[in-house]
Amino acid sequence: MIRCEYHCPRALGEALGLKAAVPGARVIAGGTDLMVRLRSRELAPAALISLRRIPELAGVREEQGGARIGAATTFTDLLDDPVVARDYPVLARAAARVGSRQIRNAGTVGGNLANASPCADSALPLLALGARVRLERSGGSRELPLDDFFLGPGATALAEDEILTAVILPPPDIGARALFLKKGRVKMDLAVASVAVLLSMDGPVCRKVRVAAGSVGPVPLRLREVEALLEGAAPTPERTARAAEVAMRCVAPITDVRSTADYRRHIVGVYLRRALESLLGREAA
């Protein structure tokens, strides 16, 4: 593939020291995306820093009423986690749609986000759930809303000396329900388009709505205009149809090997409406 150094530190501090000390070093967790890009020579890092022996980066734990997901938590671990199943089932649903079983056994949440693909399955429910990411460097750390982490295809807010160490979920919104819908050519494929919706009602009106869409822009998108249209309003069938139209206008898909821009736009409209109607306990028109 590519000649490079390999480091397998046992402590986070050591990994952060290496990241700062070795220019062009790349972090490797599951390797499911990175190995493909190394082999094609799309990436040629000077060094790889493995995260697999750093205990605090793996697994989910409850933190301040919410949850902290270590960046090196695999999708299989996410699927098996009782906290995720109880408080954030939409995330488990998305994890189940990542690749094949053997990909889920290796691929990690942190890798999925740091790879910054517009189709990252975990990014959509995490955007809808209001997740933040923790970025650490030697002697410091910061947290960003996940919205602000993605800068473009393959580009993130991570600085050269930083490592994405955790995803932070706020306490579960009591009364809110969420859905993730993904259209793939076949079940295990990358998304042609995907939608995640979180909805919380206050009597007849929407109290809180979060909408995210994947594979329809340079990054996983949060559709704030759609959220604003629905929040504080009664979600009549007319309004959900209007929300679907706005969603189709807000996204910016491209045509590529997996699908056309037109079809992707269409799917976003259909899936948004389907998700809303389903969360409202109605049949989609």
Question: Scanning the structure block, which residue is given the tokens 């699927």?
Answer: 79
Instruction: Give the chain's count of helices (H) and strands (E).
Output: 12, 14
Written as six digits, the tokens of 212 are 């995210």
Instruction: Please report whether residue 32 would count as binding another protein according to CB under 8 A.
Output: yes
Question: In terms of CB distance, is 108 or 240 closer to another protein?
Answer: 108
Instruction: Please report whether residue 39 would count as binding another protein according to CB under 8 A.
Output: yes
DSSP string, 203-225: TTEEEEEEEEEESSSSSPEE-HH
**What angle do helix axes 261-279 and 237-250 make, rounded to 10 degrees?**
150
Question: Scanning the structure block, which residue is given the tokens 């000649």?
Answer: 3
Sequence letter at residue 257: V
| Among 93-101, 215-223, 251-259, 276-284, the segment contacting another protein (CB under 8 A) | 93-101
Virtual torsion, Cα 245, 122, 219, 1, nearest 10 deg: -140
Question: In terms of CB distance, is 105 or 138 closer to another protein?
Answer: 105
Question: In terms of CB distance, is 181 or 221 closer to another protein?
Answer: 181
Instruction: Please report whether residue 2 would count as binding another protein according to CB under 8 A.
Output: yes
Question: In terms of CB distance, is 174 or 186 closer to another protein?
Answer: 186
Near another protein by CB under 8 A: residue from 1, 155, 205, 228: 1
Q: What is the spatial distance between Cα 39 and Cα 160, in angstroms, rounded to a whole number?
A: 22
Site string for another protein, 49-88 (x = CB under 8 A): -x-x-----------------------x------------
Residue 228: helix, strand or coil by DSSP?
A: helix
Written as six digits, the tokens of 103 are 């990909």
Residues of span 138-177 touching another protein by CB under 8 A:
none
Question: In terms of CB distance, is 28 or 223 closer to another protein?
Answer: 28
Question: In terms of CB distance, is 30 or 220 closer to another protein?
Answer: 30
CA 144 to chain CA mean position, Å: 14
What residues does 63 pair with on adjacent strands? 66
| Among 25-33, 82-90, 125-133, 149-157, the segment contacting another protein (CB under 8 A) | 25-33
Q: What is the spatial distance between Cα 174 and Cα 73, in angstroms, rounded to a whole number?
A: 25
| Among 5-13, 87-95, 196-204, 258-266, the segment contacting another protein (CB under 8 A) | 5-13
Chain residues in the site for another protein (CB under 8 A): 1-10, 14, 28, 30-32, 35-36, 38-39, 48, 50, 52, 76, 99-103, 105-106, 186-188
